[in-house]
Amino acid sequence: MRRKSLSTLLAASVYLAVSAQAQGPQRQQIQLPEGAGKEVVEATCTRCHGLNSIASSGGFTREGWEQLVSSMVALSREQATTVAEYLSKNFPEQPRPAAVLVSGPVKVSIEEWLLPSLGSRPHDPLAAADGSIWWTGMFANVLGRLDPRTGAMKEFPLKTPASGPHGLAADQAGNIWYTANAKRLVGKLDPKTGDVTEYALPEGARGPHTPVFDQQGTLWFTLQSGMVGRLVPSTGEMKVVATPTANTYPYGIEVNSRGIPWYVDFRGNRVGSVDPVTMQIREYPLPDPAARPRRIALTPDDVVWYTDYVRGYLGRFDPKTGAVREWPSPGGADSRPYGIAAIGQVLWYSESGVRPNTLVRFDSRTEQFQTWVIPSGGGVVRNMMATRDGNLVLACSGRNRVALVEIGRGD
Ligand code: HEC
């Protein structure tokens, strides 16, 4: 029960946050204790989210508050000091599941960049073919591009206000496609001109979620309205189909080596595949009824891997045999494994429930784990992606950063 309500709650908080941005400041839900700093917090922090984000955050040290707030809002030095003192006194750091560090043979270096629009909630990252790193600035209604060699960044405004840019995929020509989660559309940005083309969802479809291209250049995407969608860029033709089971939440999606999209259902213990021609969806149950796979990665052998966010497991589903195997994540049952990517036969993912958030490596050949902390704390890494040269990019939502993970070779 507890677990089910957690995911419902999370989905609700995302919705609230987005609608708050669309409809103006959210009504205050909690009473703040008296003290210098209270007024600034009330006035500035509610622009993007409720004050309960502060109360339920588990608190921070003074330094931690200072850092966190500076990623969300630009205050004068004096205000920043007052606010950090106020918050650390009233919301001190609480014990939390701590990151569990597992040593191992691989070296990584993690570099992070603070993004220009503060509090922009970078949701998904994209490693482009030219080496640049893109992100969706969900609350700032922008797509952003970083050149990790120079640190130069540029944000591209989107056409429809408060559209909630969420997932990203790049086509062969270098256009950047995104799902506008709050506005029932899929968009295409031409980075050369900044032009945005929008494709409206059909009637009854909403919450376009995660997009991915197949080998033919067809765009596939999941929808929060229990559907999977297909968009053919050359014709603009879009089609969505509902999953066989009602009340589903297709979430992460990837295309296998034979052009078949696979997705995970965050509202049930199942994964699904889509026939690329007929769009018929086939669902496969996972053995534990409490399983809630959130993101998916495919290894070159077309095996399906998933992060079981609610139970704290890494899972493996073999479509050839139907066999499921699971490994408890190093951070434990409440570690909330989330964004995941495969590089060859190695899985990389992040634990979003431990503080600081971790980067986890799992070698499927040796079944060994290794973990690192994310320097900024991560603030929930909702998605990650492998670069062409075998590194990783991450979006650190609550720290308003994107990260490049360089993985030592000889691995
Ligand atoms: C411009 C928008 C914006 C403003 C203004 C803003 N925030 Fe945030 N805040 C965010 C975003 C985006 C997140 C991440 C939400 C998510 O990922 O779901 C966040 C998350 C948080 C969290 C949760 C972080 C965690 O790791 O648990 C806390 C605490 C927080 N904000 C405190 C504040 C405080 C205090 C202020 C005012 C001084 C403030 N915020 C002002 C955008 C903003």
Q: At CA 73, angle to CA 70 and CA 78, rounded to 5?
A: 70
CB 291 within 8 A of CB 301: no
Place of tokens 């040796």: 366
Q: Mind listing the pLDDT tens digit for each residue in 240-268?
A: 999 999 999 999 999 999 999 999 999 99
Q: State the average pLDDT over residues 63-82.
A: 93
Residue 411: pLDDT band (50, 70, 90) is: very low
How many Å lie between the centroid of ligand 1 and the Cα of residue 140? 13
Which residues in 257-287 are b (16+ Cβ under 10 Å) and which e? eeebbbbbbbbbbbbbbbebeeeebeebebe
Does the Cβ of 117 fall within 6 Å of ligand 1?
no
Q: Report the nearest-CA residue for atom 13 of ligand 1.
A: 398
| pLDDT above 80: residue 61 | yes
Can you say whether the dihedral through the CA atoms of 62, 67, 69, 70 is positive or negative?
positive
How many Å lie between the centroid of ligand 1 and the Cα of residue 287? 37
Q: Report the nearest-CA residue for atom 14 of ligand 1.
A: 398
What is the average pLDDT value for the chain, to the nearest integer?
92
| pLDDT above 50: residue 19 | no
Does the Cβ of 119 fall within 6 Å of ligand 1?
yes
Does the Cβ of 268 fall within 6 Å of ligand 1?
no
Question: In angstroms, what CA-CA distances link 124 with 60, 195, 227, 360?
Answer: 25, 21, 20, 18
Residue type at 92?
Answer: P
Residue 326: pLDDT band (50, 70, 90) is: very high
Q: State the average pLDDT over residues 126-148.
A: 97
How many Å lie between the centroid of ligand 1 and the Cα of residue 260? 38
Q: Mind listing the pLDDT tens digit for each residue in 156-210?
A: 999 999 999 999 999 999 999 999 999 999 999 999 999 999 999 999 999 999 9
CB proximity list for 8: less than 8 A, separation 6 or greater: none
Joined tokens for residue 9:
């709650």
Q: Report the nearest-CA residue for atom 19 of ligand 1.
A: 398
Joined tokens for residue 194:
């900044």
Does the Cβ of 225 fall within 6 Å of ligand 1?
no
Joined tokens for residue 123:
């949701």
CB 166 within 8 A of CB 179: yes
| pLDDT above 50: residue 282 | yes
CB 383 within 8 A of CB 167: yes
Burial class (CB in 10 A: 0-12, 13-18, 19+), 123: buried
Higher pLDDT, 275 or 31: 275
Q: At CA 255, angle to CA 277 and CA 402, rounded to 5?
A: 140
| pLDDT above 80: residue 25 | no
| pLDDT above 90: residue 22 | no
Joined tokens for residue 299:
């290894």
Does the Cβ of 139 fall within 6 Å of ligand 1?
yes
* Ligand 1 atom closest to Cα of residue 379: 26
Q: How far apart, in whole angstroms, are the C-alpha atoms of residue 165 and residue 167?
A: 7
Does the Cβ of 379 fall within 6 Å of ligand 1?
yes
Which residues in 301-312 are b (16+ Cβ under 10 Å) and which e? eebbbbbbbbbb
Does the Cβ of 47 fall within 6 Å of ligand 1?
yes
